[in-house]
């Protein structure tokens, strides 16, 4: 099913009442980026804040995410792109109770920044999805699939969308909204199953 009109996306409903934190990559996401267009439809969403968007510092991205999580009183969905996807996976490994789900789009190659060993090397135990394109200049789709396997995340390979950013001309990216909706519904279902198991114990 494809969405053809902005009013049909129902992006707020797709989140099942979870708060959302936008985690851009290097240089932030401009006004044409799907992350910015989604944020405009989600008045209660939060975007991480950084002083140096051009400097790929895992520690600074992590600190910015932690700061936003601290402002919330319930687990959040992290919607991350590129370098931000790497930082988000790192945070989820350390603070799983604060993360409802991870939506990781076009993660950058950690080897380009010499941080691969600083990232989680095993399953995150978080409902997660990685979306990558077969022609992304920032990381091959096969390498993105490797990290999805490492982190126990679902993996979706797209064709000819580059870095899945403003230059990809996606607009509000309706197919992405659909994928987010499916991810959050699964996270909600997993949460209910865990609660039922705790009650039965």
155 domain residue, yes or no? yes
189 domain residue, yes or no? yes
Starting at the edge strand found earlier in the chain, the sheet holding 46-47 runs: 46-47, 20-23, 76-81, 99-105, 128-133, 154-158
- Listed range (9-18, 59-68, 106-115, 138-147) with the worst mean pLDDT: 9-18
Domain that holds residue 66: 16-200
How far from chain centre, in Å, is Cα 153?
Answer: 11
| Rg (the chain; Cα; Å) | 16
In the prediction, which pLDDT does 32 show?
Answer: 97
114 domain residue, yes or no? yes
186 domain residue, yes or no? yes
4 domain residue, yes or no? no
60 domain residue, yes or no? yes
Model pTM? Answer: 0.92
Specify the number of domains making up the chain: 1
86 domain residue, yes or no? yes
Identify the bridge partners of residue 129 per DSSP, sorted by sequence position. Answer: 103, 154
In the prediction, which pLDDT does 3 show?
Answer: 37
- Give the mean model confidence (pLDDT) for residues 50-55: 96
10 domain residue, yes or no? no
Residues of the chain with pLDDT > 90: what percent? Answer: 83
Is the pLDDT at 8 greater than 50? The verdict is no
């Amino acid at each position: 099913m494809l969405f053809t009109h902005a009013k049909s996306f129902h992006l707020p409903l797709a989140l099942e009442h979870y708060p959302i934190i936008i985690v851009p990559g290097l240089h932030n996401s401009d006004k044409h980026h799907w992350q910015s267009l989604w944020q405009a439809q989600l008045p209660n969403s939060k975007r991480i804040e950084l002083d140096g968007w051009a400097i790929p510092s895992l520690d600074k991205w992590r600190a910015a995410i932690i700061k936003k999580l601290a402002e919330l009183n319930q687990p959040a969905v992290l919607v991350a792109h590129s370098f931000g996807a790497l930082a988000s996976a790192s945070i989820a490994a350390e603070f799983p109770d604060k993360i409802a789900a991870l939506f990781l789009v076009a993660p950058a190659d950690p080897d380009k920044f010499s941080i691969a060993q600083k990232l989680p090397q095993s399953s995150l135990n978080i409902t997660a999805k990685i979306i990558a394109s077969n022609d992304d200049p920032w990381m091959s789709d096969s390498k993105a699939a490797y990290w999805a396997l490492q982190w126990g995340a679902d993996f979706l390979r797209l064709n000819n969308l580059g870095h899945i950013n403003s230059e990809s001309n996606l607009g509000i990216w309706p197919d992405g909204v659909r994928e987010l909706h499916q991810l959050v519904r699964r996270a909600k279902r997993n949460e209910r199953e865990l609660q039922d198991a705790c009650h039965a114990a």
